[in-house]
Amino acid sequence: MILEELVLSRAEEESRAELIDSLKAAADAARSIAGRNQERRRQDAMDRAQRLDRIVHFLENDPSGPGSDLADQALCDRVREKLKARGQW
């Protein structure tokens, strides 16, 4: 599952706090995978973990975090709208 689909599907079902916790766990899992795989897979896993960290930062603090790009900002805006619709923002 690509990262955007993961985040958006969880935003449909989880509260903001639950979403933060589950994304932190996903980032930790990606870092764990990065520690035991080949170089290319390790870099992919670290990139995924860092992106999840930026999304968690946004969810916890609202403004876009350091290193945030347009794709991250667009994803975070969609997540915020989903959570707002359910009164979770």
Q: Is the dihedral of CA 13, 18, 24, 29 positive or negative?
A: negative
Q: What is the model's pLDDT at position 33?
A: 80
Structural domain span for residue 51: 3-85
Q: How many residues does the chain have?
A: 89
| DSSP secondary structure, 50-87, as one string | HHHHHHHHHHHHSS--TT--HHHHHHHHHHHHHHHHTT
For the chain, 89 residues long, give each residue's pLDDT as a single digit of tens. 699 999 999 999 999 999 999 999 999 998 888 777 677 778 888 999 999 999 999 999 877 555 668 888 899 999 999 999 999 99
Closest to 26 (Cα-Cα) out of 66, 53, 5: 53
Number of domain units in the chain: 1
Q: What is the model's pLDDT at position 44?
A: 87
Q: What is the model's pLDDT at position 65?
A: 54
pTM: 0.76
